[in-house]
A and B are shown apart, each in its own frame.
Chain A
Amino acid sequence: MMGDVWTISVLIELKPSIRDPEGETILRDLIRRGGEKSVEEVRAAKLLRFKVRANNREEAENLVRTLCDELRLYNPIAHVCNVWSDR
């Protein structure tokens, strides 16, 4: 196959309006318990990292975006999904 290998990251996180109990627990029972008061919020999320062979960065990102939408790697009712290239 032609082209370079691109590293594409996908961050799937809950919409801001939806409570994230994992982030809340990290904040309440780890960070604040340790005495740190300046952190106001922690949100947990899922990161997927793809290695994609493509002719250019845009093509690689677009492929991953399409996969995210078509295979519903995120649930659009609950999540926001960000796709970016690391290379």
Chain B
Amino acid sequence: MNVTILKFPGTNCDRDVAAALERVPGVRREIVWHTQFKRSSTDLLVLPGGFSYSDRLRAGAIAARSPVMDVVRDLIDDGGLVLGICNGFQILVEAGILPGALLPNLSTRFICRWVCLRVENSRTPFTNLFSEGQLISMPIAHNEGRYVSGGSLRELRSKRRIIFTYVGADGKRGEDANPNGSDGAVAGISNDDYNVLGLMPHPERASDPLLSPYGTEHGHTLFLSIANYVRGRA
């Protein structure tokens, strides 16, 4: 599997993603500066986390208008896989590739902690090695993670495009379990064709059991799912 990790000025999770992918067998990965990105033979394009363009205007808003996003759109139209993590999710939303908006957390604070997520749809290229309803752990680290659907929540639900939600350790949704005040406790969504996933939690920081307070590696499972899907498609 060939993976391209796209870097904008201010992206700072690119090497973490590369390190996490090192643990996935058969992966060739490359960090590419946004002006240098060509379609080539990428199986997966990752828009990693960070603070592209210092979050100026709004998180992700300036990167979303970069010329490279036209190339990203073409790749998506042709069925290519795109994974947007944290600021990458914000970029995809600001580009209109994924619906909604990611606004400042209701707490008005930057939140950096591990959260419990529920896998709402395990029949996607990104989640096929999870079981439906599985509870998993990943860290979040963001100031603008409050997902606002703009009225599209019902449609997202009916099309099973909500992929991850924030839940408590008991698997239940609630105000206490929703760290940023997201509509429907949404932590990650896909596009209509399920080849684009945007999520606020960081799978690359949850890929090594040594780095997890729970000894888990659910981020690794997400990357393995992608490799599994790509292998099956070949």
Q: Give A residues with C-beta under 8 Å from B.
A: 14, 18-19, 21-22, 25, 71-73, 75, 77-79
Beyond A72-B64, A72-B96, A77-B149, list 17 extra A-B contacts (CB 8 Å). A18-B148, A19-B106, A19-B181, A21-B105, A21-B107, A21-B108, A22-B104, A22-B108, A73-B61, A75-B58, A75-B93, A75-B94, A77-B99, A77-B100, A77-B148, A78-B148, A79-B101
In the complex with contacts A19-B181, A73-B57, A75-B94, A14-B103 CB distance below 8 A: yes
With beta carbons under 8 angstroms apart, the residue of A19, A22, A73, A78 that contacts B150 is: A78
Which of B96, B99, B103 gathers most chain A CB within 10 Å? Answer: B103
Interface string of B127-156 (1 = CB under 8 A from A): 000000000000000000000111000000
Contacts of A14 in B (CB 8 A): 103
24 contacts across the A-B interface (CB closer than 8 A): A14-B103, A18-B103, A18-B148, A19-B106, A21-B104, A21-B105, A21-B106, A21-B107, A22-B104, A72-B65, A72-B96, A73-B57, A73-B61, A75-B93, A75-B94, A75-B101, A77-B99, A77-B101, A77-B149, A77-B150, A78-B101, A78-B103, A78-B150, A79-B101
| A72 proximity list for chain B (CB < 8 A) | 61, 64-65, 94, 96
User: Taking CB as reference atom, which chain B residue is nearest A18?
Assistant: B148
Main secondary structure of the interface of A (DSSP, over half): loop
What is the interface residue range for chain B against chain A? 20 to 34
Nearest CB of A to B194, in Å? 21
Contact residues, B104-121 vs A (CB, 8 A): 104-108
Q: Which residue, A18, A72, A75, A79, has most C-beta atoms of chain B within 10 A? A: A75
- The interface residues of chain A lying within 8 Å CB-to-CB of B64 are 72
Residues of A within 8 A of B108 (CB): 21-22, 25
Q: Which residue of chain A has the shortest Cβ distance to B99 in the bound complex?
A: A77
Q: Which residues of A contact B99 (CB under 8 A)?
A: 77
Which chain B residues lie closer than 8 Å to A21 at the CB level?
104-108, 181
Q: Which residues on the A side are within 8 Å of B58 (C-beta)?
A: 75
Closest 7 CB pairs of A and B: A77-B150, A78-B101, A21-B108, A75-B101, A77-B101, A21-B106, A78-B148
